[in-house]
Amino acid sequence: MIKKTQVIKIKMAVHIATRKIIKEWIDYNGHMNMAYYVLIFDQAWENILNKFQMGGEKAEVSKRTTMVVETRTTYDSEVKENDEVDVYVTYFDHDKKRLHLKCSMFEKKTNKLSATMENLSLYIDLDKRKVTEFEDDKIKIMDEFINENKANFKNDNLMFLDKLKK
Protein backbone atom coordinates (compact mmCIF):
# COMPACT_ATOMS: atom_id res chain seq x y z
CA MET A 1 0.00 0.00 0.00
CA ILE A 2 1.30 3.48 -0.89
CA LYS A 3 1.24 6.00 1.93
CA LYS A 4 -0.27 9.43 1.29
CA THR A 5 3.14 11.09 1.75
CA GLN A 6 4.59 8.77 -0.88
CA VAL A 7 1.89 9.80 -3.35
CA ILE A 8 2.76 13.45 -2.73
CA LYS A 9 6.46 12.71 -3.27
CA ILE A 10 5.96 10.72 -6.43
CA LYS A 11 3.12 12.56 -8.16
CA MET A 12 2.92 16.05 -6.70
CA ALA A 13 6.49 17.30 -6.63
CA VAL A 14 9.84 17.90 -8.33
CA HIS A 15 12.86 16.60 -6.39
CA ILE A 16 15.51 19.30 -5.87
CA ALA A 17 17.82 18.07 -3.08
CA THR A 18 18.75 15.41 -0.55
CA ARG A 19 20.46 16.33 2.72
CA LYS A 20 21.81 14.37 5.67
CA ILE A 21 21.06 15.83 9.10
CA ILE A 22 24.31 16.55 10.92
CA LYS A 23 25.06 16.69 14.64
CA GLU A 24 25.55 20.48 14.66
CA TRP A 25 21.91 20.96 13.60
CA ILE A 26 20.49 19.00 16.56
CA ASP A 27 19.15 20.98 19.53
CA TYR A 28 18.70 20.06 23.20
CA ASN A 29 15.38 18.37 22.35
CA GLY A 30 17.25 15.75 20.33
CA HIS A 31 15.87 16.80 16.94
CA MET A 32 16.82 19.27 14.24
CA ASN A 33 16.52 22.90 15.32
CA MET A 34 13.94 24.90 13.39
CA ALA A 35 16.54 27.22 11.87
CA TYR A 36 18.11 24.36 9.94
CA TYR A 37 14.85 23.43 8.24
CA VAL A 38 14.94 26.92 6.73
CA LEU A 39 18.62 26.48 5.80
CA ILE A 40 17.92 23.19 4.02
CA PHE A 41 14.98 24.69 2.12
CA ASP A 42 17.04 27.74 1.17
CA GLN A 43 19.99 25.69 -0.08
CA ALA A 44 17.69 23.36 -2.02
CA TRP A 45 15.84 26.28 -3.60
CA GLU A 46 19.18 27.66 -4.81
CA ASN A 47 19.32 24.67 -7.20
CA ILE A 48 16.16 25.94 -8.91
CA LEU A 49 17.34 29.56 -8.89
CA ASN A 50 20.47 28.39 -10.73
CA LYS A 51 18.24 26.68 -13.30
CA PHE A 52 16.34 29.97 -13.71
CA GLN A 53 19.65 31.88 -14.16
CA MET A 54 19.05 33.74 -10.87
CA GLY A 55 21.36 31.90 -8.47
CA GLY A 56 24.36 33.33 -6.64
CA GLU A 57 26.89 33.27 -9.50
CA LYS A 58 24.48 34.88 -11.96
CA ALA A 59 23.46 37.48 -9.38
CA GLU A 60 27.09 38.56 -8.94
CA VAL A 61 27.40 39.20 -12.69
CA SER A 62 23.92 40.53 -13.52
CA LYS A 63 23.42 42.44 -10.25
CA ARG A 64 19.89 41.02 -10.09
CA THR A 65 18.66 38.55 -7.54
CA THR A 66 15.67 37.38 -5.57
CA MET A 67 14.89 38.29 -1.98
CA VAL A 68 12.30 36.57 0.17
CA VAL A 69 9.69 38.97 1.54
CA GLU A 70 7.25 36.55 3.13
CA THR A 71 7.47 32.96 4.31
CA ARG A 72 5.38 30.33 6.06
CA THR A 73 6.94 27.18 7.48
CA THR A 74 5.21 24.14 8.95
CA TYR A 75 7.01 21.59 11.09
CA ASP A 76 5.16 18.34 10.60
CA SER A 77 7.41 15.66 12.10
CA GLU A 78 10.82 15.73 13.68
CA VAL A 79 14.04 14.63 12.03
CA LYS A 80 17.11 13.56 13.93
CA GLU A 81 20.84 13.25 13.49
CA ASN A 82 21.88 11.08 10.52
CA ASP A 83 18.37 11.08 9.03
CA GLU A 84 18.29 11.94 5.35
CA VAL A 85 15.64 14.24 3.92
CA ASP A 86 14.46 14.85 0.37
CA VAL A 87 13.26 18.30 -0.66
CA TYR A 88 10.67 18.77 -3.40
CA VAL A 89 9.11 21.76 -5.13
CA THR A 90 5.40 21.14 -4.71
CA TYR A 91 4.24 24.44 -6.23
CA PHE A 92 5.77 27.24 -8.29
CA ASP A 93 4.44 30.29 -10.13
CA HIS A 94 5.54 33.84 -10.92
CA ASP A 95 4.38 37.19 -12.21
CA LYS A 96 6.53 39.99 -13.68
CA LYS A 97 8.38 40.68 -10.41
CA ARG A 98 7.54 37.91 -7.92
CA LEU A 99 8.22 34.22 -7.35
CA HIS A 100 5.78 32.09 -5.36
CA LEU A 101 6.89 28.63 -4.32
CA LYS A 102 6.22 25.88 -1.87
CA CYS A 103 8.67 23.14 -0.99
CA SER A 104 8.14 20.01 1.08
CA MET A 105 10.70 18.01 3.03
CA PHE A 106 10.32 14.27 3.57
CA GLU A 107 12.32 12.01 5.87
CA LYS A 108 13.81 9.65 3.31
CA LYS A 109 13.60 6.30 5.11
CA THR A 110 9.95 6.59 6.18
CA ASN A 111 8.69 8.97 3.43
CA LYS A 112 7.08 10.97 6.23
CA LEU A 113 6.41 14.67 5.66
CA SER A 114 8.81 16.59 7.91
CA ALA A 115 8.19 20.21 6.97
CA THR A 116 6.91 22.60 4.32
CA MET A 117 7.96 26.10 3.41
CA GLU A 118 6.03 28.54 1.26
CA ASN A 119 7.83 31.68 0.07
CA LEU A 120 7.10 34.85 -1.78
CA SER A 121 10.18 36.50 -3.28
CA LEU A 122 10.78 39.69 -5.22
CA TYR A 123 13.21 40.19 -8.09
CA ILE A 124 15.69 42.91 -7.15
CA ASP A 125 18.08 45.16 -9.08
CA LEU A 126 21.05 45.15 -6.69
CA ASP A 127 22.54 48.39 -8.06
CA LYS A 128 19.33 50.30 -7.29
CA ARG A 129 18.18 48.05 -4.39
CA LYS A 130 14.70 48.17 -5.91
CA VAL A 131 12.21 45.68 -7.28
CA THR A 132 12.48 45.13 -11.03
CA GLU A 133 10.82 42.98 -13.69
CA PHE A 134 12.22 39.66 -14.85
CA GLU A 135 14.03 39.65 -18.18
CA ASP A 136 12.28 37.81 -21.02
CA ASP A 137 14.80 34.94 -21.02
CA LYS A 138 14.16 34.27 -17.33
CA ILE A 139 10.39 34.34 -17.84
CA LYS A 140 10.80 31.81 -20.64
CA ILE A 141 12.88 29.48 -18.42
CA MET A 142 10.37 29.74 -15.55
CA ASP A 143 7.39 29.20 -17.86
CA GLU A 144 9.06 26.12 -19.35
CA PHE A 145 9.64 24.76 -15.84
CA ILE A 146 6.00 25.37 -14.95
CA ASN A 147 4.71 23.77 -18.16
CA GLU A 148 6.95 20.72 -17.69
CA ASN A 149 5.90 20.26 -14.06
CA LYS A 150 2.47 21.78 -13.51
CA ALA A 151 0.83 18.35 -13.40
CA ASN A 152 3.07 17.67 -10.38
CA PHE A 153 2.17 20.86 -8.51
CA LYS A 154 -0.44 21.09 -5.81
CA ASN A 155 -1.97 24.48 -4.98
CA ASP A 156 -4.13 23.64 -1.97
CA ASN A 157 -3.33 25.22 1.41
CA LEU A 158 -1.25 28.00 -0.16
CA MET A 159 -1.20 31.24 1.83
CA PHE A 160 0.25 33.55 -0.84
CA LEU A 161 -1.77 32.69 -3.97
CA ASP A 162 -3.38 36.13 -4.04
CA LYS A 163 0.00 37.92 -3.91
CA LEU A 164 0.90 37.42 -7.57
CA LYS A 165 -0.29 40.17 -9.93
CA LYS A 166 -1.31 38.27 -13.06
- pLDDT tens-digit map of 51-65: 999 999 999 999 999
The model carries a pTM of: 0.89
**pLDDT above 80: residue 11:** no
Confidence band of 156 (pLDDT split at 50, 70, 90): confident
Q: At what angle do helices 34-51 and 136-149 cross, to 10 degrees?
A: 110
- What is the C-alpha separation between 27 and 109, in angstroms, rounded? 21
- Cβ atoms 41, 87 nearer than 8 A: yes
- pLDDT of 4: 46
Confidence band of 94 (pLDDT split at 50, 70, 90): very high
Query: Which of these, 109, 136, 119, lies nearest to 48 by C-alpha position?
Result: 119
Collapsed DSSP state (helix, strand, coil) of residue 102:
strand
Q: 99-115 pLDDT, tens per residue? A: 999 999 999 999 999 99
- What is the C-alpha separation between 130 and 24, in angstroms, rounded? 36
Collapsed DSSP state (helix, strand, coil) of residue 72:
strand
**pLDDT above 60: residue 1:** no
- pLDDT of 127: 97
Lowest model confidence (mean pLDDT) among 10-14, 29-33, 106-110 = 10-14
- What is the C-alpha separation between 59 and 66, in angstroms, rounded? 9
The CATH number assigned to the domain with range 4-154 reads 3.10.129.10
Contacts of 100 (CB under 8 A, 6+ apart): 91, 92, 93, 94, 118, 119, 120, 121, 158, 160, 161, 163, 164
**pLDDT above 80: residue 5:** no
